């Protein structure tokens, strides 16, 4: 067996700016994405705080109506395209997926690096819309309004087109990696559920994103050349734009939530120290959701004038999607019930997810009911619904995954006590911000409105106070995570006692090449019933042979220096 020199891993084996900027290592690319999407989240989050600050009272609070419209539009464009869609796949998928598969990298590392730069360029182009004309009216940029207010739309559409390429190429990379580069013995039924969900996400990315590509391209041409495909004044059809737009944007929300489901599955398995209940159902439900997600776009268009028959069909299929989703939630609860739950900070986020995502999901089904949607469409009820699924779903799961994999990625432990405080702040802040918005919407408060009637003031104020608590929690997280890099305790090989390959077969942080010898897999990803048999010494759970004696690692064995093989 060969090893690198001790203490050498992917973070320090090569130094210098170019070794990062031109790195083909999926782990380094994942870390670079982490920095980039965190900046996008910060920018989008600051805009959110400003929007909520403006809504603290009726009339003008800190900005005029024009600035307000542009703020909420840019908030959404950044959060959706520059943060949520790339985040879990490009950060955690990139870092963890090849290792969980027993591979040394993704199938196309150069394409992976290209995806990262394409993302940066696309985000930069979209941001120039701030200074080149204006974008307002929401991230859905419905034609003909969006093409009639100046040149900002040209930059936003170009930016979204370019970012879409990054999404497609990442998805393509992951699909090929999962199909072609699994370690010997790693059958589909032994895959971690995180992989299943990234796989399903990647399928949606590859199939759906080209449609937003052609949509924004047509919108670009509509503005630049007045081709008259969406603008009724020129003979075009504005509802056609809505169909085109939502045909991607509905599957896009499954791109957002499926990776989150995958993170939760891995967290539930590890922190319940139990096989994830209903593994096959949970795995296949990801694929079912991915498929059904293409059939429901019309539920965003119930009041657009489309036929009653198509509305009924879209409504029915929307109900159907609730079934595989509910199957997952029930299985996660069952996993905890049968298991031995450890309430570490990643698990706190997973449990939080069950609550907040379920509320988001239920309210989504509610909005799928035609008679209800007619009243709630374009109200704050919708705003609350999608924040509960996107933030209460994706962001909460992403935070859980971040806390879970942080020791593996950086080799440092963060302050667990502060982590628990921050989790509480995030949970309380999130619910205080968004739950009142359900009530506001049911009472008739329209969305995307700069001003409102005095009767809505108290709930709006409550929501704004909640946003401050939420922001405090998020800044606290950033604080102790960054502090851990500087002065955190060194992490052990497998602090959570997980059984997936990234924990049992790599060092912490992982070696540059992940593995020296390809692992041979003989068990499932959550076979905790085998743990006693596999790891007879208790304590640190690792199958690495750091002692060089041909047997799996024991906690007492310090790494013994070896001569580097090459």
Partner 1 sequence: MANPHTNQPAHVKHYFVSSEQQFDAAKMGMWLFLVTEILLFSGMFVAYTIYRSWHPETWTALSTALDWKLGGLNTIVLLASSFTVAMGINQIQRGNQKGLLINLVLTFVFAGMFLVVKYFEYSAKFEHGLFPGAAFDPHGVSHGFDYATYNVPYGPQFFSIYFVMTGIHGFHVLVGMGLFAWITVKALKGRFSAEYYTPVENCGLYWHLVDIIWIFLFPLLYLI
Kindly list the residues in this chain that would bind partner 1 in the complex (CB under 8 A): 103-109, 111, 168, 172-173, 175-177, 179-181, 206-211, 213-215, 217-218, 221-222, 225-229, 234-237, 240, 244, 513, 518, 566
Cβ-based neighbour number of residue 238 at 10 Å? 16
What backbone phi and psi angles, to 5 degrees, belong to 221?
Answer: -70, -35
Nearer to partner 1, 206 or 320 (CB): 206
Q: How far is the CB of 552 from partner 1 (least distance, A)?
A: 24
Residue 231 to residue 144: CA distance in whole angstroms: 5
Which is nearer to partner 1, 25 or 266 (by Cβ)?
Answer: 25
CA-CA distance, 499 to 508, in Å (whole number)? 14
Distance of closest approach, residue 2 Cβ to partner 1, in angstroms: 10
Q: How far is the CB of 207 from partner 1 (least distance, A)?
A: 6
Residue 260 corresponds to which tokens in the numbers above?
């989150």
Q: Which is nearer to partner 1, 533 or 566 (CB)?
A: 566
Find all residues with CB under 8 Å of 330, minimum gap 6, and list them.
278
CB of 251 to partner 1, least distance (A): 11
Which is closer to partner 1, CB of 87 or CB of 204? 204
> Whole-number minimum distance, CB 195 to partner 1, in Å?
17
How far apart (Å, rounded) are the C-alpha atoms in residues 539 and 547? 16
Distance of closest approach, residue 241 Cβ to partner 1, in angstroms? 10
Q: Pick between residue 237 and residue 378 the one whose CB is nearest to partner 1.
A: 237
Chain length of the chain: 566
Tell me whether residue 244 or residue 279 sits nearer to partner 1 (CB atom): 244
For residues 164 and 101, is the Cβ–Cβ distance under 8 A? no
Q: Are 254 and 204 in contact (CB under 8 A)?
A: yes
Q: Nearer Cβ to partner 1, position 84 or 99?
A: 99
What is the residue-wise DSSP string for 386-418? HHHHIIIIIIHHHHHHHHHHHHHHHSEE--HHH
- What's the closest the beta carbon of residue 160 comes to partner 1, in angstroms? 14
Could you tell me the smallest distance in angstroms from the CB atom of residue 143 to partner 1? Answer: 13
Q: In terms of CB distance, is 47 or 103 closer to partner 1?
A: 103
Asked if 114 contacts 108 with a C-beta cutoff of 8 angstroms, the reply is no
**CB proximity list for 425: less than 8 A, separation 6 or greater:** 469, 470, 472, 473, 476
| Closest of 294, 33, 338 to residue 163, by C-alpha | 33
- Cβ neighbourhood burial of 177 (10 Å; 0-12, 13-18, 19+): buried
């Amino acid at each position: 067996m060969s090893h690198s020199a001790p203490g050498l891993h992917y973070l320090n084996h090569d130094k210098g700016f170019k070794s990062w900027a031109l790195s083909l290592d999926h782990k380094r690319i994942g870390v670079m994405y982490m920095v980039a999407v965190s900046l996008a989240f910060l920018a989008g989050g600051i805009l959110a705080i400003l929007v909520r600050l403006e809504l603290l009272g009726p009339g003008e609070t800190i900005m005029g109506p024009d600035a307000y419209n542009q703020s909420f539009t840019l908030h959404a464009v950044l959060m959706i395209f520059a943060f949520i869609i790339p985040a879990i796949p490009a950060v955690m998928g990139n870092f963890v997926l090849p290792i969980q598969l027993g591979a040394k990298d993704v199938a196309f590392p150069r394409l992976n690096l290209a995806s990262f730069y394409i993302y940066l360029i696309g985000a930069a182009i979209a941001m120039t819309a701030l200074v080149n004309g204006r974008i307002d009216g929401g991230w859905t940029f419905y034609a003909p309004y969006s093409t009639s207010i100046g040149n900002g739309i040209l930059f936003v559409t170009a930016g979204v087109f370019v970012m879409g390429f990054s999404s497609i190429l990442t998805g393509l990379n992951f699909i090929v990696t999962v199909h072609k580069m699994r370690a010997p013995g790693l059958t589909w039924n032994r895959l971690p559920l995180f992989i299943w969900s990234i796989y399903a996400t990647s399928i949606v990315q590859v199939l759906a994103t080209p449609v937003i590509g052609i949509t924004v391209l047509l919108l670009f041409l509509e503005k630049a050349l007045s081709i008259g495909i969406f603008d009724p004044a020129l003979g075009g059809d504005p509802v056609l734009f809505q169909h085109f737009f939502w045909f991607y944007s509905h599957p896009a929300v499954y791109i957002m939530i499926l990776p989150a489901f995958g993170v939760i599955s891995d967290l539930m398995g590890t922190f319940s120290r139990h096989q994830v209940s209903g593994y096959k159902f949970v795995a296949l439900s990801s694929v079912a959701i991915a498929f059904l997600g293409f059939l429901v776009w019309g539920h965003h268009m119930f009041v657009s004038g489309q036929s009653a028959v198509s509305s009924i069909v879209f409504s029915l299929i929307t109900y159907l999607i609730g079934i595989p989703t509910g199957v997952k939630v029930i299985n996660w609860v069952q996993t905890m019930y049968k298991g031995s739950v450890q309430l570490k900070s990643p698990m706190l986020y997973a449990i939080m997810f069950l609550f907040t995502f379920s509320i988001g999901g239920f309210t989504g089904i509610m909005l799928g009911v035609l008679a209800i949607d007619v009243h709630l469409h374009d109200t704050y009820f919708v705003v609350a619904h999608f924040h509960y699924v996107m933030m209460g779903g994706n962001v909460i799961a992403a935070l859980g995954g971040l806390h879970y994999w942080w020791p593996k990625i950086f080799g440092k432990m963060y302050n667990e006590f502060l982590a628990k405080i921050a989790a509480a702040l995030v949970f309380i802040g999130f619910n205080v911000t968004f739950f009142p918005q359900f009530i506001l919407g049911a009472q008739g408060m329209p969305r995307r409105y700069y001003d409102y009637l005095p009767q809505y003031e108290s709930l709006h104020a409550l929501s704004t106070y909640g946003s401050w608590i939420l922001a405090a929690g998020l800044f606290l997280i950033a604080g102790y995570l960054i502090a851990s890099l500087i002065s955190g305790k060194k992490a052990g090989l497998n602090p959570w006692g997980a059984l997936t390959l990234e924990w049992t077969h790599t060092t912490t942080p992982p070696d540059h090449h992940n593995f020296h010898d390809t692992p041979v897999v003989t068990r499932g990803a959550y076979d905790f019933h085998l743990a006693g048999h596999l790891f007879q010494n208790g304590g640190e759970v690792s199958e690495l042979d750091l002692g060089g004696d041909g047997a799996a690692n024991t906690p007492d064995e310090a790494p013994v220096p070896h001569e580097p093989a090459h």
